[in-house]
Amino acid sequence: MVKKFFECETIDPGNPSSDRITVKFPFSLIERWKHKEITQFYNVATAKKVLDEPKRIFYGTRALSEGWWCYVGKPDIWYIRESVTSTFPSNKVFAVLLDADFEVYGFRSEPAAEDDPLAPNGWRERYGRLIWKSLD
Amino acid sequence: MEELRLEDLLKQINNKEVKRTEPYKPELWYNSFGDCIEFQTKDEAIVADRIDPFLTIYRSADDSTAIGFQLKDVKALMKKHDCNISLIGAQVLNKELMSVAHILIKAYEQKPLTIRKQEGYQEALENLFGKAAMPHGVE
């Protein structure tokens, strides 16, 4: 079966100052959320905002799988249930999770780290490397 | 083939076109794109509480109670511990609950063992089977 995707662009972690790269949202995953976890479906918009303007990019997010990525940002709003929006909490970050082929497989909020409010809690132990950080 | 445009999807979201038509039913499922098993008891925003490299507890953004979990690197864990779960499409069949619990316990046994880790795995099992099935203090 041919996989279908929605696409958007984000910073290329290999060359942040050059053209952006394409990341993919699997169609079947979005369909799943649309019919089951509807809050997650609405937060596709939040994930898109984070990919538009990430604050941190981490590499090596899995213990037993090579090459996976985490893009982290600080959106203004997010969906807390179905179509209900709320101000995004100041003490949290929003993490978008991607596999080695830059296909998004999930996203969620996480507590922000004390030593870096734009990174998830425990980032030093959890990830292989911080690849890129925004200037702000 | 029909072109899939993210812009069209975002329009549906902005216009709040997607509505739930029946009550949310918690369902254990296999996310093949992330090689992870996921479970949520409520459909609401998630705050992730990472317990260890394999288990993340999903907490309610409202009150921090555990409302589910994500178990990562499922295929690698199954291979390492010679477990077998029928991962059919995006579904984990209900009859496989015990197999999922078995993998959870195998992931738990990876060192180091800590109190936080014990509490996290207990919360995952409580979510999966209900609190009555997992009294505190039972190991």
With beta carbons less than 8 A apart as the criterion, state whether A42 and A78 touch. Answer: no
Q: Answer yes or no: is pLDDT of B103 > 90.
A: no
Specify the pLDDT at position A117.
97
Report the distance separating Cα A121 and Cα B82, nearest Å. 33
A120 CB neighbours in chain B (<8 A) are: 48, 50
Q: Model confidence at B89, in pLDDT bands (50, 70, 90)? A: very low
Torsion sign, CA atoms A4, A7, A13, A14:
positive
Residue A125, phi-psi category: left (phi > 0), alpha (psi -120 to 50), beta (remainder)? alpha
Specify the pLDDT at position B22.
92
- The count of residues in chain A is 136
Does the pTM of the predicted model rise above 0.95? Answer: no
**What's the one-letter identity of residue B13?**
I
List % helix, strand, coil for chain A (3-state, nearest 5).
Answer: 20, 40, 40
Of A8-17, A33-42, B37-46, B97-106, which gets the smallest average pLDDT? Answer: B97-106
Specify the pLDDT at position B79.
81
Average pLDDT over residues A8-28: 94
With beta carbons less than 8 A apart as the criterion, state whether B126 and B118 touch. Answer: no
Beta strands A104-111 and A77-81 are unpaired
Specify the pLDDT at position B133.
41
**Minimal C-alpha gap between A37 and chain B (Å):** 6
- What DSSP string runs through B95-108? GGHHHHHHHHHHHH
Q: Residue A129: beta bridge partners?
A: A59
CB contact under 8 A, A83 and B18: yes
**What's the one-letter identity of residue B2?**
E
CB contact under 8 A, B54 and A63: yes
Of A9-18, A118-127, B106-115, which gets the smallest average pLDDT? Answer: B106-115
Q: Residue A56: beta bridge partners?
A: A72, A133
- Residue pLDDT, tens place only, A74-118: 999 999 999 899 999 999 999 999 999 999 999 999 999 999 999
A43 CB neighbours in chain B (<8 A) are: 45
Q: Model confidence at B138, in pLDDT bands (50, 70, 90)? A: very low
Q: Is A66 helix (H, G, I), strand (E, B) or coil?
A: coil
Report the distance separating Cα B73 and Cα A63, nearest Å. 8
Specify the pLDDT at position B86.
60
And the tokens for A92?
């949290």
Specify the pLDDT at position B3.
75
**Minimal C-alpha gap between A118 and chain B (Å):** 15
Which ipTM was obtained for this model? Answer: 0.93
Specify the pLDDT at position B98.
67
Average pLDDT, rounded, for chain A = 94
**Of all residues in chain B, what percent carry a pLDDT higher than 90?**
45
CB contact under 8 A, B73 and A5: no
Specify the pLDDT at position A97.
97
Among B45, B58, B90, the residue with its CB nearest the CB of A79 is B45
Specify the pLDDT at position B134.
42
CB contact under 8 A, A32 and B90: yes
Tell me the residues of chain A between 41 and 70 that have a Cβ less than 8 Å away from chain B: 41-45, 48, 62-65
Q: Answer yes or no: is pLDDT of B113 > 90.
A: no
Q: Model confidence at B102, in pLDDT bands (50, 70, 90)? A: confident
Q: Is B126 helix (H, G, I), strand (E, B) or coil?
A: helix
Among B18, B34, B46, the residue with its CB nearest the CB of A105 is B34
With beta carbons less than 8 A apart as the criterion, state whether A131 and A51 touch. Answer: no
